[in-house]
Amino acid sequence: MQKQIPFLVSSLLLTGLFNTQLPAVQASQPPLLSQRQTNEQLNQLLRRGRELVEAGNYDQAIATYQQAASLDRQNPRIFSGIGYLQARQGNFREAAKAYQQAIALDPNNAEFQYALGYSLANTGDNAGAATAYRRAIGLNSNNVNSYLGLGFVLLRQKDYDGAVDAYQRVVEFEPGNAQAYELMGSALLQDGRTQEAIKALQQAATLAPRQGSVQLSLGNAFLSEGNVTAGLGAFEQAARLAPRNAQVHLQIGKILQSREDFTGALQAFQRAASAEPNAVEAHAAIGELMLEQKNYLEAIVAYRRLTELAPQNPQAFYNLAVALKERDRTREAISAVEKARDLYQSQGNKDGVKQAESLLNELKSR
């Protein structure tokens, strides 16, 4: 999610709004009297909106600013303030609409364009977000957050060259920006440029030595290169820095399992499940390892949990049936494999259906 990129649309988006003071109008001219009253009402609404924001009452603040917008539809700061508050609430579609209204009134405001890009990215409109970020850069080429946002949505679009270029611009402005190097490394890794990815990630690790996600990405890069020992070392460092990261423990477990260190692998998978109790991959890994080790009782426990977490996964039910069969729990095994067969059929997996029916026939012939 784009939420990973800091939302640094500054308080300027609201400061200009809060400081709005409309000019006084001479009371001696009756036709302008109603305009003066409107101005006074508008200023009261803006002050009230500021008080609500300071109190953390964003819903009422938005409603108040919307009232203000109905009185002055030519003030872009009012719409940008609404957009800012909608974004703070996680209402990114509404935020984008508000920023688009602000931009229609002030198209050359780089902050508005950046905020629109951020909001659109959070709705999943990556193309629209990229356009807004590029406009923000065109208006203010020194804002590194616009490049970070652009790189993020380009990475989602698998435009790896574009993403790398965006992150390269960030490090030109800020050579010590570890996040930019980390994201650049991720883009390079996904593009298959492993050596370049490792170099970028090592730079990120130097700049942010206590960032576990960097070590996780570095471990994946080493594995892609075939350097399992270096990969394991990076994952172990990541585990020390981020012990609650389930993916780190899963990667360690897979490497240890491939090295036939089954005790260590099981411990790693269990740590992953402990860190993230609903992690499907962790429970699947425990079940697979238990089946491989012929520890059918523990395999049954793991696969029962897996079927709860992934009730549409036919392989989980099939493996559960295998473990139950080995414990001579035939009736339960038949029930599990029938469920597996039905799921395979609904998914159009003919090989899976054939496999399930073969086990079902074996169980019924007992």
Q: Is 191 helix (H, G, I), strand (E, B) or coil?
A: coil
Average pLDDT over residues 62-69: 83
Using one digit for the tens of pLDDT, what is the confidence trace for 146-156?
999 999 999 99
- How high is the pLDDT of residue 34? 61
Average predicted confidence (pLDDT) for the chain: 89
For residue 359, which phi and psi values (nearest 5 degrees)?
-70, -35
* pLDDT confidence bin for 35, thresholds 50/70/90: low
Q: Using an 8 Å Cβ cutoff, are 160 and 191 in contact?
A: yes
- How high is the pLDDT of residue 9? 39
* pLDDT confidence bin for 53, thresholds 50/70/90: confident
Average pLDDT over residues 322-330: 96
Q: Which of 33-37, 41-45, 93-97, 124-128 has the lowest mean pLDDT?
A: 33-37
- How high is the pLDDT of residue 23? 30
> CA-CA distance, 251 to 265, in Å (whole number)?
9
pTM of this prediction?
0.78
Decide: residue 258, CB within 10 A, 0-12 exposed, 13-18 middle, 19+ buried.
exposed
- How high is the pLDDT of residue 57? 85
Average pLDDT over residues 112-138: 97
Domains and CATH numbers, the chain: 1-157 (1.25.40.10), 243-366 (1.25.40.10)
Per-residue pLDDT at 83 exceeds 60: yes
> CA-CA distance, 49 to 207, in Å (whole number)?
42
Average pLDDT over residues 14-19: 40
Average pLDDT over residues 251-273: 96
Per-residue pLDDT at 312 exceeds 60: yes
Average pLDDT over residues 174-185: 96
Distances (CA, A) of 321 to 107, 182, 339, 351: 63, 43, 10, 17
- Looking at the chain, the whole-number percentage of residues with pLDDT higher than 70 is 90
- How high is the pLDDT of residue 19? 36
Average pLDDT over residues 228-238: 97
Residue 115 C-beta-side C-alpha neighbours within 13 Å = 34
> CA-CA distance, 366 to 362, in Å (whole number)?
7
Sign for the CA dihedral angle at 259, 307, 297, 342 comes to negative
* pLDDT confidence bin for 61, thresholds 50/70/90: confident
The CB-based long-range contact list for 331-334 (8 Å cut-off, 24+ gap) reads 333/363, 334/360, 334/363, 334/364
* pLDDT confidence bin for 25, thresholds 50/70/90: very low
Distances (CA, A) of 8 to 36, 37, 140: 36, 36, 15
Using one digit for the tens of pLDDT, what is the confidence trace for 275-297?
999 999 999 999 999 999 999 99
Tally of CB atoms within 10 A around 269: 30
> CA-CA distance, 276 to 273, in Å (whole number)?
5
